[in-house]
Homo-oligomer: A and B are copies of this chain.
Amino acid sequence: MQLQRDRVEAALRQAIPAEWDISPRLREAAAYSLEAGGKRLRPIFVLAAAECAAGDESIHRKAMPFAVAVEMVHTYSLIHDDLPAMDNDDYRRGRLTNHKVFGEAMAILAGDGLLPHAFYEASRAAALGVPAERALAVVSELARYAGLPGMVGGQADDMEGEQGITSLEQLERIHLHKTSDLIAFALRAGGHAAEASDRQLEALGLFGRNVGLAFQIQDDILDVTGEEAKLGKPLGSDERQGKVTYPYLIGLEESRRRVNDLTNEAIEALASAALARTDLLADMARSIMNRDH
């Protein structure tokens, strides 16, 4: 996985062509957040899904534009989520947030620039041998999973509901859109790169949905039980901010069981889809369940 992460990092560094004539400060602001590290979970899921569908890691080359695309969308969403009008965060991953360094206007514009660039990347896959119809399907899915009925809608629900979440259904709905949708997209995009069947795409999407939700619940759990040194942030921030979380609603024990169940359901979803292999994805799902940061 470290090798995949290195390849993704290299692709991200080269993604915005050096020869494009872009306002230097804007280019710097976009690169600041794009190259800020992080787990690179979403692009690695794209590559792993493609490899599981194709059975051969040579598929990574065709899938890489989709991997870059999903990380661009994730990065733009973090920049905008951190803005004063949204979550108003000064730090992310131990570094100052984009607007603290470049100002609010430039942070809005950096996000506004990274988002369409994701679609530029997705369209580029056709030049690497992905059929135009598949690249177009990825464009259409990215637009929905990242857009009004997906991630943006989840963020809006989260802002609207901040005080009023009282049921697990409400909380799950928010997480499904805020977090799972983009992960489900990543899995399906990898599948499209390998020209997966509809049945395989559906299984990959369901895997992504469940793993995304497990990831989010594990986040909530770690905020209560984790180690600050490993997390790189203070514990108990959810409680201090009055955030409604899984442990708050159903307790720690039941939250852990939910992560376990979702992980098993994710892995089972892959079993009947006749993929060339499933171990890469199953291992990633288990490591998300067992992560301590």
User: Which A residues form the contact surface with B (CB < 8 A)?
Assistant: 16, 20-23, 25-27, 30, 77, 80, 83, 85-86, 103-106, 108-109, 111-120, 122-124, 126, 131-133, 135-137, 139-140, 142-144, 146-149, 152-153, 155-157, 159-160
B149 touches A21 (CB 8 A): yes
Counting every copy of the chain, the complex holds: 2
Could you say which residues of chain B place their CB within 8 Å of the CB of A20? 148-149
Q: Among B26, B136, B144, B157, point to the contact of A152 (Cβ < 8 A).
A: B26
* Given A85-B105, A109-B156: A147 touches B116 (CB 8 Å cut-off): yes
Minimum C-beta distance from A215 to chain B (A):
22
CA distance A149 to B16 in the complex (A): 9
* Given A85-B105, A86-B105: A25 touches B156 (CB 8 Å cut-off): yes
The DSSP consensus for interface residues of chain A is helix
B147 touches A136 (CB 8 A): no
* Given A139-B123, A139-B139: A159 touches B115 (CB 8 Å cut-off): no
Given contacts A116-B119, A116-B146, could you give 8 more A-B pairs where the C-beta distance is less than 8 Å? A22-B148, A23-B156, A112-B152, A113-B147, A116-B142, A119-B119, A120-B143, A136-B139
Could you say which residues of chain B place their CB within 8 Å of the CB of A142? 116, 119
Could you say which residues of chain B place their CB within 8 Å of the CB of A109? 152, 155-156, 159
17 A/B residue pairs, CB under 8 Å, sorted by A: A25-B160, A27-B148, A30-B148, A80-B112, A85-B103, A85-B108, A112-B152, A113-B147, A113-B148, A115-B115, A116-B147, A118-B143, A123-B140, A123-B143, A124-B140, A132-B133, A139-B139
A144 touches B120 (CB 8 A): yes
Could you say which residues of chain B place their CB within 8 Å of the CB of A132? 131-133, 135-136
